[in-house]
Structure 1
Amino acid sequence: MIVIRRTFSLILQCMIAIEILIFIGVFPVLFANLSFNLKQYLQTVYQVSVRLFTFKLFTLNGHISLFPSIFARYLDSMRILGLGIIVASIIAFLFAYLALILFRKRINVFKKLLELAESIPDLMFILLLQMAVILLYKKTGIKIAQVVTFREKTILLPVISIAVPISFYITKVLIHHIEEELEKNYITLAKSKGFSFFYILNIHVLRNIAEGMFGTSKTIFWSMLSTLLVIDYLFNMNGLLRMMLSGTDAFIIGSILIFIPFFILYRIYEWLSFDNRKDIN
């Protein structure tokens, strides 16, 4: 019964979210020609909603069908985003782990260095990365990665470009959550029983900060999406976000493809997490 109720609730929430995305997608119509066009705006919202829920044709610039080409671009962009999240998480975990193990007495200095690295704009980092690869190729003849996409797709540099800048932020948040966890009473009890810091960190702390990191993951996801748009242009990639700027239909369908799957995943995780906490209590 709970599963059925939650399923219907999830479907309803998705439909409402899609309608909100449509309202946002056709928003330029409201102020077209420097005038307030409320009637035309509502008519456009209705027309797009009918087309979407009756599976009518959506086009790119009014001529070319969005399907199935938008799915290929979606998969390419999500591949880079997914790999970026994995790489950024690995880098952040290693940085935070090593900092707390090796530089625990100087952790404040390490956090200031993280803030300094985090202040570097994503655009500057990407341009410097491209320049470094080009200079290395000119000096040594070694081509470690494709800098700009023409016929062949580039993966390595876009993944590094999206992963490294956000990894500094993830590391800072991870250290913050670990330090908060280390101040709790059960940690003091574990220390009094003679457990080592290494054991406490691995067995207790890292497991208990998962909930806190989940709350931060939404900020991380949206931040990486904005970087993905920059990557689309700087690496001359025909990604989903670049396609979304080409027209209203592309923006609405692209927004739905991005938002709905992640919304469903987050909602399911929240339900499972709530059930686990209820069972524990």
Structure 2
Amino acid sequence: MKKQLLRLPLQFILTCLGLFLFSGAGSLLMYDHELVIHIAKYIHTLQLIGKDLLDPGSIFVQVEADGKEYPIFPMMLKLFGYSFLLLVTSFFIAVVSAAVLSYLAMLLPRRAHRFFLRILELLDSLPDVLVVVFLQLFIIFLFKKTGILFFDIYALGEERIYMLPIFCLAVMPVAFLVKNFLFQLREEGDKPYVEFSFSKGFSKAYTLWVHLFRNVWVSFYYHIKPIFLLMLSNLLIIEILFNINGFMVAMLSTAVSKPSAFFIGMLMVYIPFFLLFSLGQLLLTKYTGIHEEAEA
């Protein structure tokens, strides 16, 4: 526990330093008849970023196609709140859906379970963009047949849409999450306490839900970071396909045009989730005695 408390500040500082160095990477590579590394321009860009950080009020970002520029605050905070409401809501929907599907899959007969795994592999192989486009076309098809637009499929101007982007963002990682749950459930299923539960006369459904899932949730937490990164990249796809002027689109546009704004945006993503993951990790270590290294 003490080792973790000492390691976390160092990890935080090194990551922030890495993000700072990465924020200027757009000026590191240049193409002039051939690809060259431009060290001098890269260092100059880092110096400009440092200068802008001393006066954040001087940083302006262009987040819309009208060409207007806005102060980074509160514009980025506004975009952050909207985009991460979509992300967090869809994340909880995806996790709950994956947990329920995994539980039901474990109760299926062997032949049905194998068929379910094949379907899962097929869904997992589909490109994320294809899934979103298919859902949009399905909504258009329903509108043509019924005359009812069940969900908005495109954002116009300052308009904000929620239902379909959240649904798409939740659907996209479900196959990956279910595979993750099933793998960990099979790992837990070979442990002695499962046989002991069966010997006590408890049913498979009870043992699975009460005992296996309790331990799987602990293991699942330590694999949540790559899942979060997966959904973060999917958020960019969602914002582009739904024409949403969101945080990830703003980050994409500032990556080269305004490196200082890009660095601040990365910190806005990293800091709250670093604190959340670190707190959860410390609590799990304290109450379960399981360390992340043991789960890796």
Who is 1:148 aligned against? 154
Contact 1:178 1:205 in 2 (8 A): yes
Task: Report the TM-score, using the length of structure 2 for normalisation.
Answer: 0.85
Structure 2 gaps, min length 5: 63-67, 291-296
Distance in structure 1 (CA, Å) of the matches to 2:51 and 2:287:
40
Contact 1:19 1:49 in 2 (8 A): no
Who is 2:52 aligned against? 51
Equivalent residues in 2 for 1:60-75 (5 A)? 60=61, 64-75=70-81
Residue 92 of structure 1 aligns to which amino acid in structure 2? Answer: A
Q: Secondary structure at the match of 1:236?
A: coil
Equivalent residues in 2 for 1:230-269 (5 A)? 230-247=237-254, 248-269=259-280
Q: Secondary structure at the match of 1:68?
A: helix
Who is 2:200 aligned against? 193
Structure 1 gaps, min length 5: none
Who is 1:271 aligned against? 282
Who is 1:89 aligned against? 95
Contact 2:53 2:260 in 1 (8 A): no
Q: How far 1:105 moved relative to its partner?
A: 5.4
Distance in structure 1 (CA, Å) of the matches to 2:272 and 2:56:
19
Who is 2:12 aligned against? 14
Distance in structure 2 (CA, Å) of the matches to 1:76 and 1:145:
18
Query: C-alpha deviations, 1:34-84, integer Å up to 9, x for none?
Result: 443323322432442353366563222695321110111111110000111
Q: Secondary structure at the match of 2:117?
A: helix
Contact 2:79 2:247 in 1 (8 A): yes
Contact 1:229 1:242 in 2 (8 A): yes
Q: Secondary structure at the match of 2:171?
A: helix
Query: C-alpha deviations, 1:218-266, integer Å up to 9, x for none?
Result: 1211111111111111111001110012222332122111112111211
Residue 207 of structure 1 aligns to which amino acid in structure 2? Answer: R
Who is 1:27 aligned against? 25
- Stretch deviating more after TM superposition (60-69 or 172-181): 60-69
Q: How far 1:24 moved relative to its partner?
A: 0.6
Distance in structure 2 (CA, Å) of the matches to 1:105 and 1:123:
31
The CA RMSD measured in Å over matched residues stands at 2.6
Who is 1:41 aligned against? 42
Residue 37 of structure 1 aligns to which amino acid in structure 2? Answer: H
Pick the aligned partner of 1:172 from 170, 179, 183.
179
Q: Does the alignment pair 1:159 with 2:166?
A: yes
Change (3 A) 1:220 1:46: same
Residue 143 of structure 1 aligns to which amino acid in structure 2? Answer: L
Residue 20 of structure 2 aligns to which amino acid in structure 1? Answer: I
Distance in structure 2 (CA, Å) of the matches to 1:131 and 1:39:
49
Distance in structure 2 (CA, Å) of the matches to 1:19 and 1:52:
14
Count of residue pairs brought into register by the alignment? 278
Distance in structure 2 (CA, Å) of the matches to 1:186 and 1:12:
38
Query: C-alpha deviations, 1:119-158, integer Å up to 9, x for none?
Result: 1111011111111111111111111110101143111111
Contact 2:28 2:42 in 1 (8 A): yes
Change (3 A) 1:231 1:278: closer
Distance in structure 2 (CA, Å) of the matches to 1:239 and 1:254:
12
- Stretch deviating more after TM superposition (189-198 or 67-76): 189-198
Who is 1:181 aligned against? 188
Contact 1:10 1:264 in 2 (8 A): no
Query: C-alpha deviations, 1:74-129, integer Å up to 9, x for none?
Result: 11110000111011112111211112224455322211210111111110111111
Overall identity of the aligned pairs, in %: 30
